[in-house]
Structure 1
Amino acid sequence: MKAANRLSDGRNIGLQQQRFQREEFRACVRALLMTPLMSPADDDFAAVRRQAEALREWFSREAGWILQVEREGARLYKRPGNLSDAMRGLPGYDRRRYVLLCLACAVLERADPQITLRLLGERLLELAAEPALDFTFTLEAQHERRELVSVCRTLLGLGVLHRVAGDEETFVQAGGDQADALYDVQRRMLAGMLAAVRGPSTWIPEEAPVTLEARLHAMVDEHVADSEEGRRTALRHQLARRLLDDPVVYVETLDAEASAYFFNQRGTMAARLCDAAGLVAEQRAEGLALVDEGGLLTDVAMPAEGTDAHVTLLVAEHLAAGQRQRRKDGAGTAQAHVMREHDIADFLHEVKGQYGRYWRKSAREPGAERELAAIAIDRLEKLQLAVRKAGVVHPLPALARFAMGEAELRETRNAPAQAIDSLFGPT
């Protein structure tokens, strides 16, 4: 009896250890998807080091992404499956700020283990003066110093810089010799900043790509084996990257070869990805979405707290309700319910009396509706719930999940097996 009890206890412990390993692995997958450049200061770094071998194998097999885990940090080299998506990028960054970020990294690459904010700015000015850049930057105006500080704070957040002493805001306000900050440069984190297959500096000027699209492809294009298996693997990696990175993958955005593979394999792919990342698959005629029910595995949550999120939800419901009404009236999907940007601003002006008391003070000011409308449209585009073309907002199929209305019961017992509802909404 005692031997049987010990055997049972051993099995329970073994099962608990297996469960812990699975849960820790899933937490690490989610953490790396959200923080592909991870410093030792991150809460999940210790677990990522423990699970490093299994994580490397999984990311390589499922998405073709390389994972490097060292004592100084971890880097998941995520490469997007859709290079034409303009909604990616660091919050608040435009072309000018990206140029400053690249120049700052170039300065740090040549710097000593420690550098001051002022010295970083001075050396950045020297690089910015290169005529080929066609770029103008000085540290004379306060707004330019603030741009430099914004870049430094990005690098601080990524773990590339570590503040030793000083204050950036004093540098912005005063700009004098006494206003400065001192940083440690984390070389390992700096080396992991660029997630490209080939660095831009490896091209000679005569052979360098000219257009932005050509440059993007040149940096991330990977070797594909010239065989049927090689092409299938490349397709699977491309689709897995989009499913892990994008809110939803629409079939209409895929070419014929990718679409055929997607229809045949999406169920199996979704099951594997969902199991490892803790997601839930929603498969419909128009595409597939891997949803995080906790709302944590996303850059833009919806619904969420705050004025911007509330306004976005109101606009989403309004667009979706109009889309549903058109379907009930027989308009079909060919003529989707579209709205111009100023119409959305007018709608927000109308509902401000009902919901404005929940918004921040500045959002209740006269004329604030235009700014709120722009914010809402931007968030809907990032979530791939709508697309903006020439000032007109077109709802996408997944927006139907936010349509509020009475439940509609339909008999489906005798429906053909191949019939599939439209994505997140009624047909």
Structure 2
Amino acid sequence: MRAREIPPLALDSYQRAARIILSNHLVTQSYPDRIALPLLRRWATELREDLLELFGYRLEVTETTARLFTVADRLDPTAAARTTNDRTFDRHRYAYLALCLAALGRAGNQITLSELADHVAADAAQVDGVDLSTERSADRDAFVDAVGWLAARGAITLADGDAGGWAANPSAGEALYDIDRSVVVALFRPPRALQHLTSIRGLLSGSEAQAADEDGYSPDRSTDLRETARRVRRSLVERPVVYADQLDDDERLQLALPRTAADVEALTGLVAERRAEGIALIDTSGRMSDLRFPSTGTVAQVALLLAGEIADRVLDPDAVQLVRMPVPQARTSDLIAQLDSAIPAGGIFHGLAERTAEIPVAEGGATELFPLIEDSWIRHTVEDLIRRYGRTFAAQWQADHDGLRHEAVAVLDKQRLVRRTSGGVLALPALARYRGVVVNIRDRAGQPQLFADDPESVAVQAPVLAPQPPSEPVPSDQ
């Protein structure tokens, strides 16, 4: 492993480069910033070897881009693309994004926003269920969101005009973009020809091995163990917490081996926190997650308060004993079926199609039981939090209690602190880290007040080491 050969004085630079590419997968001359690409180019050889050895990832570095080709072990419905305003992409935005990439690949060095919209509209008309009408404001907004996503990554650069003006009034507004073809090419590089796939299963890492087994080939034991170790390491950098109970027997064995997490620590500079329930990587830099928790903002603050309340309820010896249930299966098959139903049948080359549609995908076999927190209790608790601290919340959430509760639970679910189930949520072990949450009320001193009773601001603190990692630590063995 090349990371162990790096001189101590240069190791921090190498680990920063590893964190950048693992966090972004695509690095350009402007994305995520202007110093990222030179840093990656400096360590390209060492990173290429370590990423392949530890994760099975392939790294390509050119003068203008660095692209990490990852391996998908499972589908993650929470890992969605987001707009510049932090809105989740819906199916139309994804469709416009794919069609924009196709149009940009055929274009010259520059293109206007209206020309790009015309190309996308023409291509969209050939796909059932997708269309783009510049007469509809919602379509224009979705299209501009896709264009903004590409612009943020440097695939296109605004040369003149304003995309917002075009979205408001296409007949009056216009925007001109320079096209960076190297970024466009680097963005869309699927591991297999999509026209040869009849199912999304063909993009998952297990498909090749399972198909090979059908042909009578069985890899040797050492190869199988190496791939299992890679799969566990991928989980460590892709999930906030890796629970041992949610892995199969071979994966649990690899997770228990000290070297598995130690190799990832050496590459990334993160610190592995190991407990009986599993492992989490602690990122004190705060730059290796798309969702930092704890964090600022009303939703994050309420989520932290709710986490503390749930932890106190679970650990309360005087309360009525909670019902315990296993974590529900991921329902991967249902998600695959939904995605497969959207594949345009006319675009498949059936003569060359790979045999992946019938290959089963493991749903997981967790058997440990976790306490169930019912929806009615969560609703009552959030209402109580709103009564106590609601005057400090953003106005949007003061009028939408149900929405605030839904978003706060979603944050906890994404951080693998709870898991949604029928009738409530299951409290997972990592949640215990946030018991005993402390609330500090700060006066807004020095700020002009419109009324004498202008509300204070609330600061919620968790009794954990600071700064808080975006990948959540696992609790103590209680």
TM-score range, shorter chain: 0.7 to 0.9
Is the CA contact 1:198–1:219 (under 8 Å) kept in the aligned structure 2?
Answer: no
Distance 2:380 2:13 in 1: 48
Q: CA deviation at 1:390?
A: 3.3
1:291 aligns with 2:282: yes
1:147 aligns with: 142
Pairing partner for 2:273 from 282, 289, 295: 282
Residues 284-337 of structure 1: CA deviation (Å, up to 9, x unaligned): 222111111343321111111111211111121122222222698766966644
Which letter maps to 1:424?
P
- SS of residue in 1 equivalent to 2:191: coil
- SS of residue in 2 equivalent to 1:163: strand
Distance 1:219 1:170 in 2: 46
Distance 2:160 2:39 in 1: 30
Q: CA deviation at 1:55?
A: 0.9
Distance 2:207 2:149 in 1: 23
Aligned residue runs from structure 1 range 318-329, under 5 A: 318-325=309-316
1:21 aligns with 2:10: yes
- SS of residue in 2 equivalent to 1:59: helix
1:424 aligns with: 475
Aligned identity (percent) is 26
Q: 1:111 to 1:44 in 2, by over 3 A?
A: same
1:415 aligns with: none
Which letter maps to 2:183?
M
Aligned residue runs from structure 1 range 88-237, under 5 A: 88-91=79-82, 92-131=88-127, 133-176=128-171, 178-194=172-188, 196-201=190-195, 203=196, 208-210=197-199, 212=200, 214-217=201-204, 221=208, 226-237=219-230
Residues 375-402 of structure 1: CA deviation (Å, up to 9, x unaligned): 1122112211111123522222111111
Q: 1:209 to 1:352 in 2, by over 3 A?
A: same
- SS of residue in 1 equivalent to 2:122: helix
- SS of residue in 2 equivalent to 1:67: strand
Aligned residue runs from structure 1 range 242-391, under 5 A: 242-263=235-256, 265=257, 267-325=258-316, 336-341=370-375, 343-365=377-399, 368-390=400-422
1:37 aligns with: 26
Which letter maps to 1:299?
D
Is the CA contact 1:78–1:195 (under 8 Å) kept in the aligned structure 2?
Answer: no
Q: CA deviation at 1:235?
A: 0.8
Distance 2:437 2:391 in 1: 24
Distance 1:306 1:89 in 2: 21
Greater shift after overlay, 36-45 or 328-337?
328-337
Which letter maps to 1:48?
L
Q: 1:115 to 1:199 in 2, by over 3 A?
A: same
Q: Normalising to structure 2: TM-score of the pair?
A: 0.74
- SS of residue in 1 equivalent to 2:187: coil
1:55 aligns with: 47
Distance 1:217 1:379 in 2: 26
Residues 144-171 of structure 1: CA deviation (Å, up to 9, x unaligned): 1010000011111122111111111101
2:75 aligns with: 84
5+ long unaligned stretches in structure 1: 1-16, 407-421
Distance 1:156 1:405 in 2: 40
Which letter maps to 1:30?
R
More helix by share: 1
- SS of residue in 2 equivalent to 1:338: strand
Q: Normalising to structure 1: TM-score of the pair?
A: 0.82
Bigger RCO (CA 8 Å, 6+ sep): 2
- SS of residue in 1 equivalent to 2:419: strand
The runs of at least 4 consecutive aligned structure 1 residues that moved more than 3 Å come to 17-20, 218-225, 326-337, 339-343
Residues 209-237 of structure 1: CA deviation (Å, up to 9, x unaligned): 24x4x244289857998211211111111
Distance 1:168 1:126 in 2: 20
Quote the RMSD (CA, aligned, Å): 2.6
Q: How many residues align?
A: 382
Q: 1:258 to 1:401 in 2, by over 3 A?
A: same
- SS of residue in 2 equivalent to 1:74: strand
Distance 1:75 1:219 in 2: 22
Is the CA contact 2:324–2:372 (under 8 Å) kept in the aligned structure 1?
Answer: no
Greater shift after overlay, 321-330 or 285-294?
321-330
Which letter maps to 1:60?
L
Distance 1:168 1:219 in 2: 42
Is the CA contact 2:308–2:437 (under 8 Å) kept in the aligned structure 1?
Answer: no
Distance 2:150 2:311 in 1: 39
Is the CA contact 1:104–1:120 (under 8 Å) kept in the aligned structure 2?
Answer: yes
Is the CA contact 2:72–2:204 (under 8 Å) kept in the aligned structure 1?
Answer: no
Distance 2:175 2:209 in 1: 41
Which letter maps to 1:67?
L
